[in-house]
Amino acid sequence: GAVVSQHPSWVICKSGTSVKIECRSLDFQATTMFWYRQFPKQSLMLMATSNEGSKATYEQGVEKDKFLINHASLTLSTLTVTSAHPEDSSFYICSASPLTPGLAGYTQYFGPGTRLTVL
Amino acid sequence: QKEVEQNSGPLSVPEGAIASLNCTYSDRGSQSFFWYRQYSGKSPELIMFIYSNGDKEDGRFTAQLNKASQYVSLLIRDSQPSDSATYLCAVVKGNQFYFGTGTSLTVIP
């Protein structure tokens, strides 16, 4: 149980284009989903937290107009990198939690990640 | 002060030895504690969670929590080369999830 998928697993795009990454919870409903970015040999960096049906909460320094997050249902969240540039090349990882924050058992299950390369 | 602190390592242990990974947290109100493993180029995977003081064992892994001293550790018995990875400590306080920067472990055959 607690499987999270991401699609695509890797993507190469030209500078200036937009890329959409999907995150799905396959066997549970996710009240909260998280988006992270990780550069090589660096730690996870939380970009934003999204709750189904409401706007995402972005971390300081993350441009919400550049990284559009839509948590349209309890099993799907999408991250769209708009007007991507080479510096946006990174490993993007989503995670999902089946429970409401504050409850015992609240934890995060990670998707396999999406490697984005912007040429 | 960071919410969660880990020694970045690298930590090297010989095959078959016990690997000990440590994590400290700053907020006494933290409620839940997790260990994740992340192989190079892959996303983190949950290994264990612990909520109460004391030890919790799962196979070769033992998580230890000491709320008075505000630390949580992970012991890996009979370490295998396949255990070589970065281990992330995570702490939950309320609705906030805090990750450490991870400790790199290498198990030498």
Burial class of residue A4 in the structure, from the number of CB atoms within 10 Å of its CB (0-12 exposed, 13-18 middle, 19+ buried): buried
* Mean per-residue pLDDT over chain A, rounded: 91
Does A16 score more than 90 pLDDT?
Answer: yes
Q: Which residue from B32, B42, B101 is facing A106, i.e. has the nearest CB?
A: B32
Distance CA B107, CA B72 (A): 21
For residue range A22-43, list pLDDT tens digits in order.
Answer: 999 998 888 889 999 999 888 8
Does A101 score more than 80 pLDDT?
Answer: no
Q: Beta strands A114-118 and A10-13: pairing type?
A: parallel
Distance CA A106, CA A103 (A): 6
Q: Which residues of A touch B102 (CB under 8 A)?
A: 43
Residue linked to tokens 């290994």: B47
Q: What is the pLDDT of residue A43?
A: 86
Distance CA B7, CA A109 (A): 24
Question: With a cut of 50, which residues of chain B have pLDDT below it?
Answer: none
Q: What is the pLDDT of residue B93?
A: 84
Q: What is the pLDDT of residue A31?
A: 82
* Residues on A contacting B at a C-beta cutoff of 8 Å: 32, 34, 43-44, 46, 91, 93, 101-102, 104, 106-113
pLDDT classification of A105: cutoffs 50, 70, 90: low
Residue linked to tokens 């505000």: B70
What phi, psi does A85 have (nearest 5°)? -125, 165
Burial class of residue A23 in the structure, from the number of CB atoms within 10 Å of its CB (0-12 exposed, 13-18 middle, 19+ buried): buried
Interchain contact, B45 vs A110, CB within 8 Å: yes
Distances (CA, A) of A2 to A37, A99, A109: 21, 11, 7
Q: What is the pLDDT of residue A104?
A: 61
Residue linked to tokens 């030895």: B17
pLDDT classification of A1: cutoffs 50, 70, 90: low
Q: Which residues of A touch B88 (CB under 8 A)?
A: 43-44
The minimum CA-CA distance between B109 and chain A, rounded to whole Å, is 23
Please give the torsion angle defined by the CA atoms of residues A9, A63, A55 and A106, in that order, rounded to the nearest 10 degrees.
Answer: 60
Distance CA A114, CA A91 (A): 6
Give the pLDDT mean for A79-104: 88
Distance CA A59, CA A57 (A): 7
The alpha carbon of residue B67 and the mean position of all alpha carbons in its chain are separated, in whole angstroms, by: 15
Q: What is the pLDDT of residue A42?
A: 87
Q: Beta strands A114-118 and A57-58: pairing type?
A: unpaired
